[in-house]
A and B are shown apart, each in its own frame.
Chain A
Amino acid sequence: MNKKIKKASRHTSQNEGLIFEKSSPGKRAFELPPLDVPAADPAKALGVNHRRAGIEGFPEVSEIEVLRHFTRLSTWNYAIDLGMYPLGSCTMKYNPRVNEFVARLDGIATEHPYQPQELSQGCLKIMRLLEKCLLEITGMDAITLQPAAGAHGEMTGLMLIRAYLEKLGNPRKKVLIPDSAHGTNPATAVIAGYEVENIKSESHGQIDVDKLRDLVTGDVAALMITNPSTLGIFEQRIPEIAEILHAKGALLYMDGANMNALTGVTRPGDLGVDLMHLNLHKTFSTPHGGGGPGAGPVAMKKILEPFRPVPILVEKEGGRLALEPVRPDSIGRVKAFSGNFGVLVRALAYILAYGPGVRQATEDAVLNANYIRKHLEGVYELPYSLPSMHEVVFSDAIQKKNGVSTMDIAKRLIDYGFHPYTTAFPLIVAGAMMIEPTESESKEECDLFIDAMKSIAVEAATTPEIVKTAPHTTRVRRLDEVGAARKPVLRWKPAVPRSEAAD
């Protein structure tokens, strides 16, 4: 083990096959209470045509085997609970356990979306308070909590734009998207029925305002902007950008993925943004859970309010809350039921824990990013030098001379006990290294990260092979992704096919 690696050391890891390979007929991990009504005969009740004999290949294992199986698998994952997870644009911050606790309370997790609204006032009050908090944070007038994730929020947002413009007589054709945007932006615009026109960034990585002025024609419905941009830089001319769009009747959409840089410091609504989504699983710390669930509320200005997806949460006389299913101008539903309610609960628990002090979290996030930037500047190339907000983007230009790429450095970070930063994004930086520490990292953890990055830079210069073949300490080495895609194996199959005659 390399002595320079301070944060990690070797550790035995248990091997574990697929659960299907442990299965043996007759084992079980779950027992139901005895049936207290007469047993129905499935063949009679369903008819032979509808009945299935059994599910071929379904696991048969005991409770301890299930627990060990998934516990062993879990130990193969890196997680925020183990250390810094500096994935740029992903805002991997601490996920408070109390949020998990309250989301599972009886009376919260147990509630059915169709139960009478007079028996759901607690759920509706949670949604109402979250709405109010998010409106205060964003400086907007109205909000929908229905979208299930950021990309779903983007889509809802573009549908709102289309509905609004259509009401004015012309939905228009194009959505402008900077070349630094997240991939979801262009994908969403197409699903919402718009053509995408990419805008090149100017030399400082900001939106080229003069070029934008030429591009905004009567055909343009909206500009989708990320602020701070994916370079971690605040779009300084955003009020002017809003004016240019508004003068031509187009709208300004903000991707709120980077709201962790702004919360409590400035408000998109005050900057001229017309609508935006928030990623509650980023800024508001509902866990990422290995890729979801999230929630992507969309906050908007008054002009868009009539178009919000139904049902709409309204306050009736006496403070009673209700979900109204019908609004004449609504874009319709974007998801069944009332959004990812359990995620909304967690986000509110997070906000209540901080209160107005959430500003301190933003400040610490920006402090950490700038601290790391200061110490790594010169060691790695900084392609854009404007002030960093909550994340900093370096490039591998210096290390590339020795044949070491951002991906190699990222993989080597694993050996040092860290999750990699974001590689290969934003697209406008060749060999990008996008680092977002978040406020959850102590000075000590930041220092360890800086040490690791400096040490890897030395390795890249002196012993590049060790970096290029990293990681060396994980239970699997680099995996054959090309092979996986060429001949996809996407499910387990029994080695010896059994007779399916019973089916």
Chain B
Amino acid sequence: MRYLPKSPAERQEMLAAIGAKSIGQLFSGIPERFRLREALKIPGPYSEAEVIQYFKDRAAENSNGYTSFLGAGVYNHLRSVVTDAIIQRGEFLTSYTPYQAEITQGTLQAIFEFQTLMCQLTGQEVANASMYDGSTAMTETVLMAERLTDRQRVLVARSVHPEYREVLKTYAKNSGLRVEEIPYTARGTVDAKAVQAALKDDVAAVVVQSPNFFGVIESYAPLAEFAHASGAMFVVVVTEGVSLGLLRPPAEADIVAMEGQSFGLPPSYGGPFAGVIASRDKYVRQMPGRLSGQTTDSEGQRGFVLTLATREQHIRREKATSNICTNQALCALAATVHLTLLGKEGLREMAEQNLSKAQFALSELLKIPGVRRAFDEPFFNEFTIELPRSVKILNSHLLRDKIIGPLALGTAYPELTKHALVCVTETTPRAEIERFACALKHALERPV
């Protein structure tokens, strides 16, 4: 086997050195009756060429050749080939969690830079080295708020990503949290009056997303004010990080939960991505996840170490702030490289292109008779339209033109079966937007 570096003679030599007659003797600790006698029934062994062919065959069964208007938490953005070149360097790819600081300064400094970039983007003071994804990051911010306030009621906007809310509810069932959902207004924003009415002195956190699941940008200030007046934490969720290239950061938030997928990570059928938690310095000791901190060595040189580990499971065991151990380090590195490549101007331009393309797409779609804009509020690169017919049926027509249509909102919001969430990014060519508008027009002209 090509991955195994021993010849049969070397194996024999090593067995002899141990004083074992056969390899079976080394497994004598396992009761005889439980040892497998037959080979495992799994396919292989495959040569490298066969492995590649297997996956190429599977890739061919997916969506090649289709243009997609899906976003909803996973976005297609331009990525430089430099990012993959860096993260595939063996020194990053095949290294462990940087517990031995002297020989992991590369990873530690990169994490420190990641933390800095996340603070700059979110307007917060401290960010961790990553969580599994946006959904688990959001859940962990709520648990963090619970620890900080010693309260167990949580108000979550219904305009927060439905799958994020589902994950929160899964955790809540086991930890005694009470999750209540806040409705959205006719303009697609969180119902601030409902937030105010639901807020009592037992609320740990108010959680909103912006741009929210309908693409609508929320106004933070009044919500933060209400939350703070009741002693609750104000939590902002960001699923489309590129929006922060153009949108005012959630500086009023006490904690921010962000999905970093937009920063150089491919959609990859839903993962791996990188969740981020950013917050205020004063809350850092209740923050979950690893942190890289600057320090000096015995000769006074600058260096970095994992720090404040007394929050973590390997030190604190059952008293840890979270059970997280393995995070999404390489994804966080990809985000760091990607954002460094984009830089200040590149990120702003990318964000502006998203905004322009989305504005253009909306204007093209509104030319179609029967298509209406659902929520009349500013948006970034996603917006909701209302159609005269079921979105699911229209989407099945679009597939014939090799177009993966916008997300049907009816699955998660039964009251919105004719509503669709359209996403366009800098990667969507104008011609494809026009082709989509044209195909949708034709689909709507078909007899029901």
CB pair B166–A291 under 8 Å, yes or no, is no
Taken together as a complex, chains A and B put the C-alpha atoms of A325 and B3 apart, in Å, by 39
Distance in angstroms from A156 CB to nearest chain B CB is 9
Chain B residues with CB below 8 A from A23, complex form: 343
Asked if B85 is at the interface of the complex by the 8 Å CB criterion, the answer is yes
The one of A338, A368, A491 that contacts B112, using a Cβ cutoff of 8 Å: A491
The one of B5, B96, B301 that contacts A291, using a Cβ cutoff of 8 Å: B96
CB pair A366–B326 under 8 Å, yes or no, is no
Chain A residues with CB below 8 A from B76, complex form: 112
Taken together as a complex, chains A and B put the C-alpha atoms of A156 and B302 apart, in Å, by 40
Asked if B89 is at the interface of the complex by the 8 Å CB criterion, the answer is yes
CB pair B82–A63 under 8 Å, yes or no, is yes
CB pair A73–B110 under 8 Å, yes or no, is yes
Asked if B21 is at the interface of the complex by the 8 Å CB criterion, the answer is no
Chain B residues with CB below 8 A from A287, complex form: 93-94, 330
7 contacts between A and B (CB under 8 A): A58-B117, A76-B105, A187-B316, A271-B34, A290-B333, A420-B100, A488-B291
Taken together as a complex, chains A and B put the C-alpha atoms of A52 and B344 apart, in Å, by 12
The one of A31, A39, A239 that contacts B34, using a Cβ cutoff of 8 Å: A239
CB pair A112–B404 under 8 Å, yes or no, is yes
CB-defined interface of A356-400 with B at 8 Å, one 1/0 digit per residue? 111111011011101100110000000000110100000000000
Q: A76-B105, A155-B323, A371-B17 known; A355 and B43 CB under 8 Å?
A: yes
- The CB with the most chain A CB atoms within 10 A, among B43, B85, B269, B274, is that of B269
Taken together as a complex, chains A and B put the C-alpha atoms of A146 and B169 apart, in Å, by 16
Q: A39-B356, A491-B115 known; A292 and B74 CB under 8 Å?
A: no
Chain B residues with CB below 8 A from A332, complex form: 166-167, 169-170, 173
Given pairs A52-B247, A354-B3, A355-B44, 14 additional interface contacts (CB within 8 A): A29-B342, A32-B349, A35-B357, A42-B355, A57-B120, A58-B117, A108-B59, A151-B323, A191-B174, A289-B95, A290-B96, A359-B39, A367-B14, A476-B301
Distance in angstroms from B436 CB to nearest chain A CB is 13
Taken together as a complex, chains A and B put the C-alpha atoms of A116 and B166 apart, in Å, by 21
CB pair A79–B95 under 8 Å, yes or no, is yes
Taken together as a complex, chains A and B put the C-alpha atoms of A183 and B50 apart, in Å, by 40
CB pair B97–A291 under 8 Å, yes or no, is yes
CB-defined interface of B41-78 with A at 8 Å, one 1/0 digit per residue? 11111101011101111111111101010101110101
- The CB with the most chain A CB atoms within 10 A, among B20, B100, B292, B346, is that of B100
Chain A residues with CB below 8 A from B310, complex form: 485
Binds A, one of B128-136, B148-156, B440-448: B128-136
Taken together as a complex, chains A and B put the C-alpha atoms of A370 and B356 apart, in Å, by 64
CB pair A137–B271 under 8 Å, yes or no, is no
Taken together as a complex, chains A and B put the C-alpha atoms of A81 and B91 apart, in Å, by 7
The one of A81, A149, A292, A389 that contacts B331, using a Cβ cutoff of 8 Å: A292
CB-defined interface of A328-350 with B at 8 Å, one 1/0 digit per residue? 00011111111111110100010
Q: A63-B82, A233-B29, A332-B170 known; A137 and B40 CB under 8 Å?
A: yes
Taken together as a complex, chains A and B put the C-alpha atoms of A159 and B170 apart, in Å, by 9
Taken together as a complex, chains A and B put the C-alpha atoms of A79 and B105 apart, in Å, by 12
CB pair A337–B18 under 8 Å, yes or no, is no
Chain A residues 33-61 with CB under 8 Å of chain B are 33, 35-40, 42, 45-47, 49-52, 54-61
Chain A residues with CB below 8 A from B173, complex form: 159, 331-332
The one of A76, A107, A187 that contacts B322, using a Cβ cutoff of 8 Å: A187
Interface residues on B, range: 35 or more
Distance in angstroms from B356 CB to nearest chain A CB is 4
Binds B, one of A95-103, A207-215, A245-253, A459-467: A95-103
Taken together as a complex, chains A and B put the C-alpha atoms of A443 and B18 apart, in Å, by 13
Taken together as a complex, chains A and B put the C-alpha atoms of A30 and B319 apart, in Å, by 45
CB pair B331–A293 under 8 Å, yes or no, is yes
The one of B26, B330, B360 that contacts A387, using a Cβ cutoff of 8 Å: B26
Residue in B closest to A107 when the chains form the complex, CB atoms: B59
Asked if B272 is at the interface of the complex by the 8 Å CB criterion, the answer is yes
CB pair B5–A183 under 8 Å, yes or no, is no
**Count of chain A to chain B residue pairs whose CB atoms are closer than 8 Å in the complex:** 682
CB pair B326–A150 under 8 Å, yes or no, is yes
Chain A residues with CB below 8 A from B61, complex form: 121-122, 125
Distance in angstroms from A21 CB to nearest chain B CB is 11
Distance in angstroms from B36 CB to nearest chain A CB is 6
Chain A residues with CB below 8 A from B271, complex form: 148, 293, 335, 337-343
CB pair B115–A74 under 8 Å, yes or no, is no
Taken together as a complex, chains A and B put the C-alpha atoms of A485 and B342 apart, in Å, by 32
Q: A32-B346, A159-B170 known; A483 and B295 CB under 8 Å?
A: yes
Chain A residues with CB below 8 A from B106, complex form: 73-77
Residue in A closest to B78 when the chains form the complex, CB atoms: A32
Residue in B closest to A188 when the chains form the complex, CB atoms: B323
Asked if A474 is at the interface of the complex by the 8 Å CB criterion, the answer is yes
Asked if A203 is at the interface of the complex by the 8 Å CB criterion, the answer is no
The one of A192, A355, A481 that contacts B305, using a Cβ cutoff of 8 Å: A481
CB pair B349–A125 under 8 Å, yes or no, is no
CB pair B112–A352 under 8 Å, yes or no, is no
Asked if A178 is at the interface of the complex by the 8 Å CB criterion, the answer is no
CB pair A77–B248 under 8 Å, yes or no, is no
Q: A18-B112, A40-B352, A183-B317 known; A292 and B291 CB under 8 Å?
A: no
CB pair A30–B341 under 8 Å, yes or no, is yes
Asked if B246 is at the interface of the complex by the 8 Å CB criterion, the answer is yes
Taken together as a complex, chains A and B put the C-alpha atoms of A46 and B35 apart, in Å, by 66
Taken together as a complex, chains A and B put the C-alpha atoms of A152 and B275 apart, in Å, by 14
Chain B residues with CB below 8 A from A476, complex form: 101-102, 105, 297, 301, 303
CB pair B295–A479 under 8 Å, yes or no, is yes
The one of A79, A108, A109, A370 that contacts B90, using a Cβ cutoff of 8 Å: A79
CB-defined interface of B286-306 with A at 8 Å, one 1/0 digit per residue? 000011111111110101110
CB pair B15–A367 under 8 Å, yes or no, is yes
Asked if B422 is at the interface of the complex by the 8 Å CB criterion, the answer is no
Distance in angstroms from A410 CB to nearest chain B CB is 7
CB pair B82–A490 under 8 Å, yes or no, is no
CB pair B119–A491 under 8 Å, yes or no, is yes
Asked if B163 is at the interface of the complex by the 8 Å CB criterion, the answer is yes
Q: A38-B360, A335-B133, A367-B26 known; A488 and B269 CB under 8 Å?
A: no
Distance in angstroms from A48 CB to nearest chain B CB is 10
Residue in B closest to A134 when the chains form the complex, CB atoms: B42
CB pair A70–B101 under 8 Å, yes or no, is no
Residue in B closest to A17 when the chains form the complex, CB atoms: B302
Chain B residues with CB below 8 A from A31, complex form: 346
Chain A residues with CB below 8 A from B309, complex form: 485
Asked if B328 is at the interface of the complex by the 8 Å CB criterion, the answer is yes
CB pair B247–A116 under 8 Å, yes or no, is no
Chain A residues 395-448 with CB under 8 Å of chain B are 410-411, 414, 419-420, 425, 439-443, 445-446
CB pair B325–A411 under 8 Å, yes or no, is no
CB pair B267–A112 under 8 Å, yes or no, is yes
